[in-house]
A and B are shown apart, each in its own frame.
Chain A
Amino acid sequence: MKKEIRLKCHKIMGGYGEGEALVSKEPICFYLTDPKTGRVREKGHVLEGKSIADKVLVFSSGKASSVVQIDGLYKLATEGKAPKAMIAKDVETVLVVSAVIAKIPLVDRLERDPFAAIHTGDLVKVDADRGTVSIIKKT
């Protein structure tokens, strides 16, 4: 059986979500994704062309104007193309509001550096209500 690593975290938006991890050390602007597919449209972004739909998104922070950021995540959610859960390194007001409005579980303050603990392709379970993140490494 594969080993599961369980880490503590801090809940921002409650709920549970699991899926394949998609890691971005760059900040993300949800407005610059395609709501029909979940693909990142932003030119030159480390995730350009990749879909964030149904993933557990591990990223440094949000970015861009407050108006578009929330609308971006809300549209992804109404199209069913939002991430299952999100793990952020730094959070600010706009990211909190985005997660609450779109009802996507969001946590921060993972007890280890998220970029060291999680890699794209790992299976990650985020239980925001209990404040835990479980990681099963990709083999």
Chain B
Amino acid sequence: MHLTKDEERILKGKSGEGVQKAMELLVAIGDALDAPRLIEISRAHAASSGQEGDLYFVELLAKGGATCKVPTSTNPVYDMECFDKLFNISPEESDVARRVKEGYKQIGAILSWCCTPYITENIPMYGENVSFSESSATPFVNSVIGAKTNREAAQSALAAGVIGKTPEYGLYLEENRKGTMLVKVAAALKDEFDYSLLGQYVGKQIGYGIPVFTGIPKRPTTEDLINLCAMLNTSGAISMFHIPGITVESRTVEEAFGGNHPKDKVTVTEHELKETREELQTGKGKIDLVQFGCPHYTLKQVVDVARQLDGKKIHKDVQFWVCTSATAILLAERMGYVDTIEKAGGHIVADTCIDMTCWNRFKDKTGMTDSPKCAYYRRFKDVIVAPAAECIKAAIRGAWQ
């Protein structure tokens, strides 16, 4: 990869060790993937995780004096104030999370602690070059918004945020943004949950590439699209897709393929969605936990949950948790919905991912969720995956069916 004189100086350590380490990582990626040069980006999202690999790199950069050059948001870790007390988490156990949070603060990141920053704290515009890691974030930014990013790791996105640049390859190039696979949908897609199942099935079937969806029955909501993105990029490694007429880079199927000839065709009917749902189930009967918010629930989803819980009581043996963004909590509180959820015996928390050590206390328990991604990364034993409304009913009853 060609470097400018300034970039060479950074690589040689003339601007400090922190930015040098960031540049080394970007150069390794650029060389590996045949990028000709670095290009400027306007924002980044680091899928920080509160895990050890994450801690190592953010501390390496922060201690070396690096700071973010462009706005760089952060993924959830967990709300220590909430869980340390409630779950009796020892200072040793929460040490990694605490240090990760300090590291990102020191490096000047946006402390969003949210996995859907693209609808709240860090919103790219059409055509921007950005560097967004996190499973739902990468495809959402590319497909729904039409900004450009590769499927970044937390560390490569952080490095790009620190340097303000990234190697030019992959989805930054127009010719790589065209469809590679046709997905014919012949199902009703009646709710957000069906979009999760669709993403789960298609991701697993095709693994990699840019699917072009046809037959989507009506305009998907923001939440439908968040779920589709999260699952396409969890059960597969899909960074972009087209829904002609809905996602921004294609009005027609022809435009979506841009002269490419689809290699293969996948058809999705109610049957595939039903089978996908059945494959996810490992538990039944009594439940100990309901987990919502993987990806983080939007304000709309928080409101939906609160309305269904209004005047009801969650079963005394069920822990009920909604994970969302700090922004959504602030507004939900103002609107009275935090109160509604808490009066019903539920919890709502910001800054928190379902895949964190604080949930390990449920390792022998049965949990219920509306998210196949939550099921995949779960910290509890058995799982029942169902639409949110069914999870809420089960939480009140104390059992699934």
Q: Which residues in A have some Cβ–Cβ distance to B below 8 Å?
A: 10, 12-13, 63-75, 78, 91-94, 96-98, 100-102, 108
Contacts and interface: CB of A to CB of B under 8 A. Distances in A.
B280 to A, nearest CB: 14
Interface of B: 24-25, 28-29, 31-33, 47, 49, 51-54, 56-57, 75, 133-135, 150-156, 170, 233-234, 237, 355, 377
Nearest to B230: A65
A72 B51 CA distance: 9
Contacts of B51: 67-68, 71
Nearest to A27: B207
B150 A73 contact: no
Contacts of A64: 234
B29 A93 contact: yes
Contact of B25 (A65, A66, A75, A97): A97
Contacts of A102: 53
B135 A97 contact: no
A4 to B, nearest CB: 27
Contacts of A93: 29, 33, 150-153, 156, 170
A54 B135 CA distance: 31
Contacts of B150: 93
A68 B356 CA distance: 11
B47 A91 contact: no
Contacts, number: 92
27 contacts: A12-B28, A65-B234, A66-B134, A66-B154, A67-B51, A67-B54, A67-B133, A67-B153, A67-B154, A68-B49, A71-B54, A74-B52, A91-B32, A91-B33, A92-B33, A93-B33, A93-B150, A94-B151, A96-B29, A96-B32, A96-B33, A96-B156, A97-B25, A97-B156, A100-B25, A100-B29, A101-B155
A93 B29 CA distance: 7
Contacts of B25: 97, 100-101
Contacts of A91: 32-33
B33 A13 contact: no
Contacts of B32: 10, 12, 91, 96, 108
Given A69-B153, A71-B51, A101-B53, 13 more contacts: A65-B234, A66-B134, A66-B153, A68-B377, A70-B53, A70-B54, A73-B53, A74-B52, A75-B52, A92-B33, A98-B153, A101-B155, A108-B32
A81 to B, nearest CB: 14
A71 B53 contact: yes
B75 A67 contact: yes
Nearest to A14: B28
A97 B29 contact: yes
Contacts of A98: 153
Contacts of A101: 25, 53, 56-57, 155
A94 B52 contact: no
Contact of B155 (A92, A97, A108): A97
A64 to B, nearest CB: 8
A133 to B, nearest CB: 16
B103 to A, nearest CB: 14
Nearest to B48: A67
A93 B30 CA distance: 9
B381 to A, nearest CB: 14
A65 B170 CA distance: 18
A36 to B, nearest CB: 14
B76 to A, nearest CB: 10
A67 B49 contact: yes
Contacts of B355: 67-68
B291 to A, nearest CB: 17
Nearest to A97: B153
B152 A66 contact: yes
Contacts of A96: 28-29, 32-33, 156
The 4 A-B residue pairs with the shortest CB-CB distance in the complex, in nearest-first order: A74-B53, A71-B53, A97-B153, A71-B51
A21 to B, nearest CB: 22
Nearest to A13: B28
A65 B134 CA distance: 7
A13 B234 CA distance: 26
Contacts of A70: 53-54, 153-155
